[in-house]
Amino acid sequence: MDRTELVSKFAETVGVEKATALVDEAMSDIGIANEASLTDTDARDVCEVIQHDSEGYIALVASELRVRLAAEERFDALLENIPNPAVVVEFDQRDPRVTSVNEAFEAAFGYDRSDAVGESLLALVAPTDYEPGDVAADWLRDSGNAETEVTRVTATGEARTYLFRSVIVSRDTGDVEGYGIYTDITDRKRREQQLEHQNERLDEFVSIVSHDLRNPLSVASGRAELLLGTAEDEAVREGLEAISDAHERMARLLDDLLTLARQGRVVGEPTTVDLATVATDAWRQVETAEATLSVETDATIEADPDRLQQLFENLYRNSVEHAGSACEVVVADAEPAGQNGFSVADDGPGIPPDNQERVFEHGYSTDSDGTGFGLSIVQSIAEAHGWSVTVSESEMGGARFDIRW
């Protein structure tokens, strides 16, 4: 606040001549030269002297002004200590004009405070293709509160991406002030774009693999089945059956590889699903021979139903492959009661403690016919939902997989 502004605050009550005399006398009393500008501390000291030496409304004005200056000084200190670029503006029509910035703003955008204050924020940081109303809209949307992704330009012309948060405050005087904070997300956006590009390439790879491997495998499997139907020599039949078994294992391996390749995708929109229904539907999709399923839950959860069914199918296959074709599988709520999650357990031989951490590794399997990708897929689906999956011994002595969130 400069001397002229301080005089004007008192002039509203006692007139310019009297106000000038009050301010100049107070400045003289505390040894401040009659300069055009005052620090916030100087201005508060002047108000304190006037409050002490005056009575009535003048003393009240001095007291209120001193309190306001103290609050502004505290706010300036807070603004300066914000680690992100921050700016304070006043609106000239819809044009935000800078009244203050912090050091982080100076460092990020390359403008000294003295250069920024008084300037249009639009002229300082808006990209050249911005319409004049766009920057104001970033401040004024959502009835005074906003949080949006914006592109801003530094003094050197570098465009960067920020998450911009703002709040609008209407003063009793009718003035409208805006307070904005910028969080630089340029590197994060760059990583997201790189990941999107990698996912596009992965999609191309998956499509090529699916077409170029499935088709010849289907032809080979069909030929083997055709020959098996006409072969009479026992040795030939045994050889063809071995070929068919190998084709089936290759098909399972290919299915698991393609499924695993797609697990990096974000899960679909979660919906409220009935856990028992999904668990039962998944059981119908798996060759379970004489195995039995018990579903002991009535829980509903938020999940991508297709991915959740995939998770169950892979756990069921794991149980049948390792616990035997007549095993018992139980789906139940998390234990102890009150935990968020569910479990899938069987009565097979279980998994030795030394191997429990390895079962989720790509390609790891204790079954020579297994692909080693089923449980890795389970973990990927769980993590894509924000869940965790662990393995332990079940009450039946077999393996127990706990999914938690």
Query: pLDDT tens digits for 167-195?
Result: 887 766 667 788 899 999 999 888 888 87
Q: Determine the pLDDT at residue 142.
A: 45
Q: How far apart are CA 401 and CA 306, in angstroms?
A: 19
Residue 3: other Cβ atoms inside 10 A: 20
Cis peptide before 336 (omega within 30 of 0): yes
Residue 284: other Cβ atoms inside 10 A: 9
Q: Determine the pLDDT at residue 143.
A: 45
Per-residue pLDDT, averaged over 69-74, amounts to 72
CATH superfamily of 271-404: Histidine kinase-like ATPase, C-terminal domain (3.30.565.10)
Q: How confident is the model at residue 208 (pLDDT cuts 50, 70, 90)?
A: confident
Quick one: what percent of the chain has pLDDT higher than 90? 37
Q: How confident is the model at residue 258 (pLDDT cuts 50, 70, 90)?
A: confident
**Nearest Cα to Cα of residue 164 among 146, 144, 186:** 146
In degrees, rounded to 5, the angle at the alpha carbon of residue 259 between the alpha carbons of residues 255 and 261 is: 120
CATH T-level assignment (fold) for domain 82-184: Beta-Lactamase (3.30.450)
Least confident of 5-19, 77-91, 151-165: 5-19
Q: Determine the pLDDT at residue 306.
A: 84
| Three-state DSSP state, 97 | strand
Q: Determine the pLDDT at residue 393.
A: 94
What is residue 257's DSSP assignment? H
Per-residue pLDDT, averaged over 199-224, amounts to 79
Q: How many residues does the chain have?
A: 405
DSSP H helices, 285-390, are 305-323, 374-384
State which H helix or E strand residue 368 sits in.
none
Q: Determine the pLDDT at residue 138.
A: 66
* Domain-wise residue ranges, the chain: 3-79, 82-184, 189-261, 271-404
Alpha-carbon separation of residue 20 from 54, 60, 228, 272, 349 (angstroms): 14, 17, 111, 71, 95
Q: Which residues pair with 104 in a beta bridge?
A: none
Quick one: what percent of the chain has pLDDT higher than 70? 87
For residue 315, count CB atoms less than 10 angstroms from its CB and return exposed for 0-12, middle for 13-18, buried for 19 or more. Answer: buried
Mean pLDDT of the chain: 84
Query: pLDDT tens digits for 264-307?
Result: 555 778 999 999 999 999 999 888 889 999 999 999 999 999 88
Per-residue pLDDT, averaged over 335-356, amounts to 90
Helix axes 56-81, 3-14, angle to 10 degrees: 150
Q: How far apart are CA 371 and CA 255, in angstroms?
A: 10
DSSP H helices, 15-160, are 16-29, 40-53, 56-81, 103-109, 113-116, 121-125, 132-140
Alpha-carbon separation of residue 118 from 88, 91, 115, 334 (angstroms): 11, 11, 8, 61
Per-residue pLDDT, averaged over 307-325, amounts to 91
Query: pLDDT tens digits for 347-379?
Result: 999 998 888 888 888 767 766 565 667 898 899
| Three-state DSSP state, 398 | coil
To 10 degrees, the CA torsion angle through 67, 71, 74, 76? -120
Least confident of 179-188, 215-224, 325-334, 363-372: 363-372
Query: pLDDT tens digits for 96-154?
Result: 899 999 999 999 999 999 999 999 998 899 888 776 556 556 676 544 555 788 899 99
Q: Determine the pLDDT at residue 367.
A: 63
